[in-house]
DNA sequence: CTGAAAGCGCTTACAG
DNA sequence: CTGAAAGCGCTTACAG
């Protein structure tokens, strides 16, 4: 492999000039620029990014911590991140945590070992003391997307989960539903907590009860939706609607309902969250909350870029969502319909 | 950030000893090991991987080139790759090509810039001259998985696509289908070519014709299946079965059939390929060909590890598949059934 | 505009 | 077992 030294020799200049000619051509005569360029081409020169990193103390790489690469939801977010990153000459290292805190934490080492300049985390399932100091300030360039911490000053990009959940419940109540169950994400999950809050607030506003067994904890997988639906649908007082905290679980519910002969949406309304591509390919098509995923990724990356260049970024950005009523929701059977004056 | 120098000072030894105590503790007295260890802990030392890379000339990182991160199919393959990589102290850089040759090619630079030691490519949509020299030998540590080149000696791990396609067709023919259409991947795609070959061979074996308009090129997306199904199902002589070269397209076909009132499987059989998780959540559940995805990833990574450690690997490994007949296939209507003696 | 020199933080033959 | 020294391949103040 050719190095700057080889080019210097061939072009008859110093290594300093080679470096300048390649990186800052305006700092060099046209003649030398040409000489160096030719020599570099002739030798098939490829700069050693490792050596450059060591010298400049930056890797031009950021690491994205992904809760689970198997989750469709993150696809467009990553596309958004990559687009902005590449446009700004940053490389993206994707770290899949496989839903494991320790694996996720491991990726932070890349910053300390100087292989990455910053972190864009799509999970808040990380030990907070590794991220922030005693003043709740981030220890290194860090941005959160989708998830966030309540108690730390980490810049983050997310939707209004509480409000979006209220939209869902309002819509169901307007249709006449009052027996509404909910399948959540893991118990500590910040997103799920906010959606739960929105759910509870909305129900309280209408003076509606939530039986304890109507709230069940899932794990965002197809299977958990499928299994929990079995419980929910065999309840003595069966819910007429199920609000799932993501689309995968909702799709699991649809399958179970089909198998045990509960008609969707006539006997059961189902709402998901995220609007992954498969929603429109379900039978019936899944009602859900659309998130501007690509925009979330782009915005988060721009925030990180700001931090990386030394600017103080806005600490928090909230992006809009949209309730999509499709085929899995309709008013409940007449005898189970809420009677209120609207 | 503390460096070996700081530790050396604090522990009262040389930097050479620090390096040895940390990396090869057996080459050092227990006493010094302890001193160094303590000093390192006290300073919160994190080794600079960049400096180490520059010195050792290896990054302990491999890059995986992904055709499209949006494709569910690759999830488990990546899980397999990461598992073996991490177990062997290699980091994995995931590069999403977004179905773009140029973007895919860009990731090869990481090897030349010394940021990665080798490449594991999940796509063959790459300029071959960038990969191999005039003797068709790989220019750097490189392994292919799933896709491959016919004309280059690049180690690869894949299934027998031709044989698997024959399994599908045999099964359909046994049921009595003879009007079998096919939705392929992009025209140059090695996998799709092989599956097409298997399809043709099988049909020829039974003396069955394939009308030209029964073969349509898709792009492995939900949407392309959905759109192509509209053409296929409006044909004057409609096929009784459609073999899709992946599950996404098959799911698109299911949606279209539902919309225009073609009953699956009574009036139309559909078979996919890959067995992604969503297959079992379709209505009806999708018949498909199962690929041992995680094993493909693990095997490919082991192959790359072998190359990285200087061994000559087996050039090619074929892994078994399994035809899964589920709810989307059954014999065609009696009047459209093939009459043969089996 | 150009060059000589130092240095980023490690590791590793080479002596002792 | 330990240390002094060189060097991986760059970039960048500092002189000129």
C-alpha span between A139 and A141 (Å, rounded): 7
Q: Using only C-alpha atoms, what is the Rg of chain A?
A: 26
Confidence grade of residue A150 (pLDDT, cut at 50, 70, 90): confident
Q: Tell me: the pLDDT tens digits for B179-238?
A: 999 999 998 899 999 999 999 999 999 999 999 999 999 999 999 999 999 999 999 999
Q: Any atom of strand D under 7 A from CB of A5?
A: yes
Half-sphere exposure of A155 (CA within 13 A, CB side): 24
> C-alpha distances in angstroms, B66 versus A163, B50, B119?
36, 25, 11
> What is the arithmetic mean of pLDDT over A253-275?
97
B262 in any annotated domain: yes
Same structural domain, A140 and A88: yes
Is residue B340 scored above 90 in pLDDT? no
Same structural domain, A122 and A214: no
Reference A214, options A188, A178, A172, A171; nearest CA is: A178
Count CB neighbours of B236 within 10 A: 5
Same structural domain, B146 and B165: no
A188 in any annotated domain: yes
Same structural domain, A135 and A267: no
Same structural domain, B194 and B97: no
C-alpha span between B123 and B95 (Å, rounded): 11
Is residue A341 scored above 60 in pLDDT? no
Of chain B, the percentage scoring pLDDT greater than 70 comes to 99
A260 in any annotated domain: yes
Q: Tell me: the pLDDT tens digits for A72-122?
A: 899 999 999 999 999 999 988 888 898 899 989 989 999 999 999 999 999
Task: State how far residue B93 is from chain A, nearest Cα, in angstroms.
Answer: 5
Domains held by chain B: number? 3
A200 in any annotated domain: yes
As a rounded value in angstroms, the CA-to-C1' distance for A22 and D14 is 21
C-alpha span between B113 and A27 (Å, rounded): 24
Same structural domain, B32 and B95: no
Same structural domain, A110 and A128: yes
Same structural domain, A143 and A101: yes
> What is the arithmetic mean of pLDDT over B93-115?
91
As a rounded value in angstroms, the CA-to-C1' distance for B9 and C14 is 23
Same structural domain, A329 and A193: yes
C-alpha span between A196 and A192 (Å, rounded): 6
Antiparallel, parallel or unpaired: β A241-244 and A269-271: parallel
Is residue A241 scored above 60 in pLDDT? yes
Strands in B126-248 per DSSP E: 142-145, 156-159, 180-184, 215-217, 241-244
Q: Which residues of A touch B82 (CB under 8 A)?
A: 96, 98
C-alpha span between B53 and A295 (Å, rounded): 36
B112 in any annotated domain: yes
Quote the domain boundaries for residue B183: 161-287+325-336
Out of A68-72, A157-161, A330-334, B144-148, pick the least confident.
Answer: A68-72
Same structural domain, B116 and B238: no
Strands in chain A per DSSP E: 61-66, 91-96, 118-121, 142-145, 156-159, 180-184, 215-217, 241-244, 269-271, 288-290, 316-319, 322-324
B54 in any annotated domain: no
Is residue A226 scored above 80 in pLDDT? yes
Chain A residue at shortest CA distance from B98: A79
Listing DSSP states for A134-164 in one string gives: TTS-BSSSEEEES---SSS---EEEE-HHHH
Same structural domain, B63 and B20: no
Antiparallel, parallel or unpaired: β A180-184 and A241-244: parallel
pLDDT of amino acid B144: 96
Cis check for the bond before B119: say yes or no (omega within 30 of 0). Answer: no
Element (H, E) at B257: helix B247-259
Same structural domain, A257 and A167: yes
Q: Which of B91, B248, B275 is most worth mutating to test chain A (most A CB atoms within 10 A of its CB)?
A: B91
CB A238 within 8 A of CB A204: no
What are the φ/ψ torsions at residue B338 (nearest 5 degrees)? -70, 135
Q: Tell me: the pLDDT tens digits for A181-224?
A: 999 999 889 999 999 999 999 999 999 999 999 999 999 999 99
Task: State the CATH number of the domain containing residue B301.
Answer: 3.40.50.2300
Q: Tell me: the pLDDT tens digits for B278-289?
A: 999 999 999 999
> What is the arithmetic mean of pLDDT over B153-176?
96
pLDDT of amino acid A340: 62
Count CB neighbours of B66 within 10 A: 24
B18 in any annotated domain: yes
Is residue A342 scored above 70 in pLDDT? no
Confidence grade of residue B54 (pLDDT, cut at 50, 70, 90): very high
Element (H, E) at B229: helix B222-233
């Amino acid at each position: 492999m050719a190095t700057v030294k080889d080019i210097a020799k061939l072009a008859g200049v110093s290594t300093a000039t080679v470096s300048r000619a390649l990186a800052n051509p305006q700092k060099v005569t046209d003649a030398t620029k040409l000489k160096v360029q030719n020599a570099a081409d002739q030798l098939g020169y490829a700069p050693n990014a490792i050596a450059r990193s060591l010298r400049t103390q930056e890797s031009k790489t950021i690491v994205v911590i992904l809760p689970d690469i198997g989750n469709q939801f993150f696809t467009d977010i990553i596309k958004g991140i990559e687009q902005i990153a590449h446009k700004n000459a940053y490389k993206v290292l994707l770290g899949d945590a496989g839903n494991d805190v320790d694996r996720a934490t491991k990726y932070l080492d890349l910053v300390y070992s100087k292989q990455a300049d910053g972190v864009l985390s799509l999970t808040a399932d990380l030990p907070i003391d590794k991220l922030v100091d005693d003043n709740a300030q981030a220890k290194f360039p860090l941005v959160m997307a989708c998830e966030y911490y309540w108690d730390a000053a980490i810049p983050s990009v997310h939707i209004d989960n509480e409000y979006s959940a209220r939209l869902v419940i309002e819509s169901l109540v307007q249709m006449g539903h009052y027996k509404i169950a909910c399948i959540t994400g893991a118990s500590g999950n910040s997103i799920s907590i906010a959606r739960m809050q929105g759910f509870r607030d909305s129900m309280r506003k209408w003076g509606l009860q939530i039986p304890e067994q109507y709230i069940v904890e899932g794990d965002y997988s197809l299977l958990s939706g499928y299994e929990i639906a079995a419980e929910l649908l065999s309840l003595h007082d069966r819910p007429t609607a199920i609000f799932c905290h993501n689309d995968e679980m909702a799709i699991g519910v649809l399958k179970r309902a089909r198998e045990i002969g509960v008609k969707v949406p006539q006997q059961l309304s189902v709402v998901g969250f995220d609007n992954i591509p498969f929603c429109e390919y379900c039978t019936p098509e899944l009602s859900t909350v659309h998130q501007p995923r690509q925009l979330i990724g782009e915005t988060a990356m721009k925030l990180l870029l700001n931090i990386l260049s030394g600017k103080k970024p806005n600490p928090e950005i909230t992006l809009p969502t949209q309730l999509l009523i499709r085929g899995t929701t309709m008013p409940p059977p007449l005898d189970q319909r809420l009677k209120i004056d609207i």
